Structure 1
Amino acid sequence: MYSSFSKEKMKLSTVGIHIIIKDESEWLRQCLDSIKDADEIIVIDTGSQDSSIRIAKSYGARVFYSRWEDDFSTPRNQALQIATTDWIFYLDADEILLSGLTAIKEQINNSDSVAFTVILENLIGTGPQDHLVHRTIRLFRNNPKYRFQGIIHEDIGHSIVKLHPSSYIEDSEIRIRHFGYLPEHIQKKDKIARNERLLKKALQTDPANPYYSYNLGITFCQVGKLIEAKNAMIQALMLVRDDAPYRSTLVKDLSKILLELREIKEVELLLLKETERYEDYPDLRYILGQSFQIQGLWEQAYEQFQLASTFQNNKYVTEAGASSFLVYYKMGEIAQNLGRLEESARLFNQALQHHPTYAPALLGISEVFYELNVPWHEIVTLLKEKVRPSVPSEHYLLLETLVQVGAFEEAIAITPISCLTDSLFFKNYCLAMIHLGRLNEAYHLLQNYIKEHPTTLELEILLQWSAICKWQLNESLQTDFFASLPENLITLYQTINEFLSTGHSPTDLDNNSLSELTASITRQSIVLGQIQLMDKLSELTGQFKLELIKMLYDHGYIFTAAEHLISLSSVQLDDEGLFDLGEILFDKGHYLMAAEMFESILLEEGTYERAKTAAAICYLHLAETSLSDALSRAPDVPSLKEDLQQIRSSIRLLNRTGWHTRWSGRQRRISNGQKHDFAMHDRKE
């Protein structure tokens, strides 16, 4: 290392913190709190109109003004010229130093390095899994030859490696948390529009700069412009140097966009090549696994997820869980689909060991143990052991999981009464109670809640649930209910109440408000599993809308939905309705009729991928039947056996692609609980 550094090590080095601000009062205090013991704090203000400058000065910061010129490097370099400390650590105002200044002092006083990378956590949502982790240079020696470069996403590393070998840059365990990518913060600060403008400006002067093209792709992605994002990132990938530090992240982000665009083969081709270069990058393995899973190549997907779980490093920009709970969950999902239930339970459990409140894994392990005939009370005990609820959000997670799998009694039993003042708890609690048929109890709970919370945002829904409880009991609404209604709803509820009591239709059926309310109550009847009331309410309007039929199907009332669907003509069905009916016919083994449904969708919408797959699998089943018949007549013909084997292999592969509606445990139990079937017949066009 540099011999000149050894003298410097004889004394304790000083460290200064550099921050750029403009109207950052919302975040600045927590930023400055995390570094308040620094030897020097330099704040460069680019035009704040709020209290940011006053806040900065209250922490002893030296505040300087820099005219904003659409260039982030300019104020950064201004701070470098002012700095008096031995070392410089730079932050954004919406970041905090997690490790504390002590960790920085220990790092710089025991090393001859010229710079250090730190671990940066970018929060992108509110969940524990919603963050990206990567390394970046933030701590470096004060050197007048160092300069930031780039008008946006400014970089100091290029300047440092020009003067010193990369071996003089050391990795540290210093951690920063960045809040600036939270959706609400991006929207409030209008960062996306600013970044797009600056990046396009940068590309005008340097069109072959892949770093700018890549970041423009990220900006497009943030506003949902996925085609533009893909094109910008492909351009960047064509131009970027193989040794560029961000190239691996570019590959990851491009592959995620291709996956979102359902360009699955392109994802596979890209990542099969790039995983040779970045073989220990878990995120690439995870995304490649997803592409295989979508294609029905479950064994290959499982292998990639398993590989991802073996890589634990800070070399790359990594999404939380890409080498732990996300891949264990994916492997558990595949094992469950393959019928390997004990293995699936073990994998879901591994996911929960890494992330005890990961909702999909909690749901998955509940479903698998139910399929393994584990009693519900044991499943609940397991969930409690995993989550160890201590705050309302964790109690709510348990409640929501049990409601989703249809364990209504257990959901009620585990809910602390003290939590029922929260509308989310209260709704799920009442939903479970109504599904169990405890309608009187639910009605009184709802009425008391409405009286105590007359301005709740959920008022309209809770009133409907309350009315549904009474009507499902074949009872009329009484004075106490009408007293809780807003004035504009009284007449409407009276009209529906009279119809359900007497069977006499009102004369003003064309009233839009009445029609909308009736439709809304009908939808809530389906949500609550009160199908008898739903049938009665449909008589009020004289028709049963396609939207409600599809809702019945989606909630697991398959046979009831089928009865309504087959009563409609094809012109009354939209693509979703035709697809639902096609699925029902398929599940009953009526492959030719199902194929006709799927084909009719494709005549109108040729890009409906699920319909394409569904039609293909119907024809494969028909071919399978024909070949089986032929083989029964000529059992010694080898070509027939080979063809039949290939067809069955194709059917198995297509069934893995997720073309068919996948039912949750609650939906399956509702479907299995329906006692009646329906007669299939040829539909008259």
Structure 2
Amino acid sequence: MKQGLVGIHMIVQNEEHYLPRCLGSFQSLASECFVTDTGSVDRTVEIARQHQATVLHAKWDEDFASARNISLPLASTDWILCVDADEYAVEGIDELLAFLPTVEPGITKLRVTIINRIGEQEQASVLFQPVRLFRAGRGYRYIGRIHEQLVRGTIGDRERAITADESIEIELPIDISKNVSVEQEPLAPLVIMHDGYLPSTMAIGHKPRRNLKLLQKQLAEQPDHPFHLYNLGVTYCQLGQVEKATEVFAQSLHSTPLEAPYRPTLVRDYAKVLIVLERYDEAHGLLATERQHYWGYADLHLLFGETLEQQGLEERAYQVYAEAVEHHTDVGTPENITKIEWQGKSDIAKTTQSEPAYVTEQGSATYKPYTAMGRLAQKKGFLQEADQLYRIALVKMPTYTPAWRGLADVLQQSGEPDERIAEQLQVQWKEGLQRDDIEVNRNITEVVQALASCGAYERALRLLQDQDRNHNIPEADLVRWMLCANRVSEVQEWAERQYRDGKDRHLFKHSELKMDWAVACWAHGSALPSSFLAVNELEEGSTWRALDSLLCENQPQIEIEIGTRTNTETKKKSNIKIKTLNNTETRVKSHLKDESWDQDKRIIQRDEDRQKVTTSQVSAGVRTLARTIIERAVHTGQLPLAKRLHMKVAELYVEPHERLLHKQWIAEVLYRAGYTMAAAEMLIQCMAEGELQAQSLFILGETVYTRGHYDQSLALFQQALEQEPGLQRARAGASHCYLQLATEVMKQEITRSPSVAELTAQLTVLEQKLRIADGLPWRTVFHAKERRNHVAEQSHFAMHDRKG
């Protein structure tokens, strides 16, 4: 006799971290709960009993189906819901309780919606709808050592269950890690979240290794079975063995029948790894065919668009992104992910859908393709269209970071001042807050980060200062923004406050924070304070002190002091008021350098017997550290420091060719940061002094190409390829130059012989090829931050490096 409506059934092993959340979320739904423990040594069993679960004990025999079947005959409820410990209900409990009694008796199993989180950001998730609810006492059970499948009926053996025996109903795998679709059973109004496969969790867990072992056993029992091969490929991806994944995906796809319900997801995953490996031709061939089989699968359109974009077919990519929006099922839309409407009795009892419920990444049918379309429109110079597309994406998902950054970037490219960019972003943010159908972060984090991403650091910091809300922005980002806004004194004050408080000193184990502190000190004209040196290990501290001595030689030394006293009487002091972002004030004391202070404050001697680092070791370490600091100084806009350190480090190189290589490296750093003219001037100097490396030749060639000097650019690209034949960017650049030169020649011929129609036709073909070539991702991409530096004062940088 049935005693309840729904029973929860699960298998566990060492799940004390997840189990309370899981059982608590289903507490109001379940009339009974069976937890089959397979050998936990933590508090899992205790926690299960605290939640009034019936605990069953079973020896783990490396067979998930066997363990899951143990509790099924004990069910006393009408329905069984199978869940895992790393899942929890987020929506639909009350609706499900109202809905289940209305389901027609002939319907014996139901799908539920599962949101599988695949990244730390809230929108990074995959939606799928497997069968998890089924009627008790109807002959259902599981088969399969791993990625177990729900079956119904009497079977002779496991192999027979895998075949198409009419007496057996075979469901899709119930485990979320399979990422497969399901037959179109009615959809119950229950939404479950799963986060057991987050990258952070996978990094410290053993699931992929365990799955690999079980899949290998399964394949030993059923050699070359396509479903198990597919899951083996997924496991290889989780283990980072992408090449192996492509091999087994290809093998699985070859033998998987077209009607197999997991096949569209196999195609999606296979295409994704091909794109990761930059095997775009193979991905193109796969998706061009398979999209025709699964036209409603937005993920395939999105992946095909990405493939086309990488192949330079940007106009076609734009069309395909539009198809991802136009041709998709309602199952995969963001609205259904965040708020899934419950279907009434008559509707769900008669549900028949022509398209399967595909496994789909959140946003594949809406905000992701809109953002991609906006990016392409912006690249082609259609800035107003790009603006509109980014805004549409943000309407669909108000927390989608790429769309926020794209909108800020296109506003800056359109010539809007920072104040106007901030206003526009805040208007968009307020529109998102007014929506009732989606949960939006109730702070202005996205706006602030978008402002910083487009180089409007000062405006971002001011906006934060005006807000009373928590912003959840990492301190490392805030410190970098202050440095980019040239608030070097505030960075120094912040660092000293963290050191003074003591409890936050662990922050400086973060290498970027420590670098920014040092950059701020040196940019301000200060030596590294004792507090900075105190947070370093001995050997690392020696390198910092050596670099500090190199930079601060013959310069006044300044040290920030907050709530501490110094014991040197030879200091000359002057008090300076500093107002920080937090509106606090501190006293900054300036000290003129002398020998006693230099030894007392800049050299920390805690143990007289510590071994000294040799001069050669310090020199090598100083050069390495100096490169890191130079790169950080350039990227934070502290060019005077970068120039000064560059000159000092150049003196450490004994051989002329080493100095030449160092100068080329500096030029490359400047170029990537957008200081293109300074980089070009420095490379021209290097060319006069000796031979340029392939990467430097490419940078100089790209600079010349931008100015329309295609013959000179071609010569530079060719020289780069002579040194490094595998430099694909130089090869693509040379192809562009040939096309540009051929187009110019053809235009000249048409001018001389305008009546020759064949010349016009050839020009049309050339221009078409040039448009395709322009879409290839060979040129350096400069966003708003770098575009600002194109016009910054920079031409004097290289001149400081001249000798004699």
Residue 459 of structure 1, CA deviation: 6.9
Shift of 1:444: 4.1
Identify which of 257, 267, 270 aligns with 1:254: 270
SS in 2 for 1:156: strand
| Greater fraction helix | 1
Are 1:592 and 2:711 counterparts? yes
Deviation at 1:674, TM superposition (A): 3.9
Q: Report % sequence identity.
A: 30
Give the deviation of 1:613 after TM superposition. Answer: 1.6
> Aligned equivalents of 1:571 and 1:97: distance in 2?
67
SS at match of 1:662: coil
Give the letter aligned to residue 320 of structure 1.
Answer: Q
Please state if 1:346 is matched with 2:381. no
Matching residue of 1:136: 130
- What TM-score, normalized to structure 1? 0.88
* 2:681 maps to 1:563: yes
1:617 aligned residue (712, 733, 736): 736
Aligned CA distance change for structure 1 residues 143 and 609 (closer, same or farther; 3 Å): farther
CA distance in 1, matches of 2:775, 2:83: 47
For residues 343 and 460 of structure 1, the distance between their equivalents in structure 2, rounded to whole angstroms, comes to 41
Of residues 130-139 and 587-596 in structure 1, the stretch that sits farther from structure 2 once superposed is: 587-596
User: Structure 1 residues 458, 584: closer, same or farther in 2, change over 3 A?
Assistant: farther
Indicate whether 1:150 and 2:150 are aligned: no
1:316-327 pair list within 5 angstroms: 316-327=358-369
In structure 1, distance between residues paired with 2:470 and 2:649:
36
- Say which of 26, 39, 50 aligns to 1:58: 50
308-317 vs 447-456, greater mean Cα deviation: 447-456
| Corresponding residue for residue 14 of structure 1 | 5
Q: Secondary structure at the match of 1:132?
A: strand
Is the 1:328–1:350 Cα contact (8 Å) retained in structure 2?
yes
1:35 and 2:26 are equivalent in the alignment:
yes
Deviates most, 151-160 or 263-272: 151-160
- Are the aligned partners of 2:677 and 2:794 in contact in 1 as well (CA < 8 Å)? no
Asked if 1 retains the 8 angstrom alpha-carbon contact of 2:96 and 2:189, the reply is no
Structure 1 residue 71 corresponds to structure 2 residue 63? yes
Where do 1:653-668 residues align within 5 Å? 653-668=772-787
Contact residue 132 and residue 319 of structure 1 kept, 8 A: yes
The residue number in structure 2 matching 1:383 is 425
Distance 1:269 1:62 in 2: 53
Counterpart pick for 1:361 among 362, 382, 403? 403
- 1:329 Cα deviation after fit: 0.4
2:190 alignment partner, one of 174, 190, 193: 174
Q: CA deviation at 1:356?
A: 1.3
Superposed displacement of residue 233, structure 1: 1.2
CA contact (8 A) 2:3 2:77 kept: no
Cα deviation 1:400-446 (Å, max 9, x = unaligned): 32122121331121113789999965554454444444544554455
SS in 2 for 1:416: helix
- Which segment is superposed worse, 549-558 or 442-451? 442-451
Stretches of structure 1 lacking an aligned partner (at least 5 in a row)? 1-7, 680-685
- Deviation of the 1:148 alpha carbon: 0.5
Residue of structure 2 in register with 1:203 after alignment:
219
SS in 1 for 2:186: strand
3-state SS, counterpart of residue 584 of structure 1: helix
Q: Does the CA-based 8 Å contact 1:472-1:532 persist in structure 2?
A: yes
Q: CA deviation at 1:153?
A: 0.6
Q: Mean alpha-carbon deviation: is it higher for 280-289 or for 317-326?
A: 280-289
* Partner deviation per Cα, 1:98-130 (whole Å, 9 max, x = no partner): 235433332321112101011111111111221
CA 1:49–1:576: 2 relative to 1, 3 Å: farther
Relative to structure 1, the CA distance from residue 519 to residue 394 in structure 2 (aligned partners, 3 Å threshold; closer, same or farther) is: farther
Picking from 238, 241, 249, the partner of 1:225 is: 241
Is residue 693–residue 723 contact of structure 2 (8 Å, CA) maintained in 1?
no
Matches within 5 A, 1:367-446: 367-387=409-429, 394-416=443-465, 426-446=475-495
Q: Secondary structure at the match of 1:381?
A: helix
Q: What residue is the counterpart of 1:332 in the other structure?
A: 374
| Stretch of structure 1 that moved more, 103-112 or 550-559 | 103-112
Which of 460, 470, 477 pairs up with 2:527? 477
TM-superposed CA distance for 1:392, in Å, is 9.3
Alignment partner of 1:138: what SS?
Answer: strand
Aligned 1:569-608 pairs, distance under 5 A: 574-603=693-722, 606-608=725-727
**2: CA distance between counterparts of 1:521 and 1:365?**
31
Match of 2:330 in 1: 313
1:432-481 CA deviation, whole Å, 9 max, x = no partner? 444444544554455445444444236765565455445445x4538xx3
Q: Does 1:48 align with 2:40?
A: yes
Task: Please state how far the C-alpha of 1:630 moved relative to its aligned partner.
Answer: 3.3
Structure 1 equivalent of residue 75 of structure 2: 83
- 1:241 aligns with 257
Contact 1:500 1:536 in 2 (8 A): no
Q: Which amino acid aligns with 1:149?
A: I
Change (3 A) 1:78 1:358: same
Amino acid at match of 2:772: L
- Give the C-alpha shift of residue 97 in structure 1: 2.2
Whole-Å Cα distance in 1 between the matches of residues 216 and 317 of structure 2? 38
Structure 2 CA distance for aligned equivalents of residues 219 and 151 of structure 1:
15
Write out per-residue CA displacement over residues 359-410 of structure 1, whole angstroms, 9 at most, x where no aligned residue. 2111111122233344433321232243459999954433332122121331
Deviations 1:613-641 (A, max 9, x none): 22211111222233333333333333333
1:122 aligns with 2:173: no
Structure 2: segments with no counterpart, 5+ residues: 155-165, 172-182, 332-356, 434-439, 557-613, 651-658, 799-804
2:98 aligns to what?
A: 106
TM-superposition CA deviations, 1:304-355 (whole Å, max 9, x none): 2122113242211010110111011011112222222222111100111111
Letter in 2 for 1:294: Q
TM-score where L is the length of structure 2: 0.76
What is the identity, as a one-letter code, of the residue corresponding to 1:401?
A: A
Change beyond 3 A, Cα 1:177–1:427: closer
Q: How far 1:165 moved relative to its partner?
A: 11
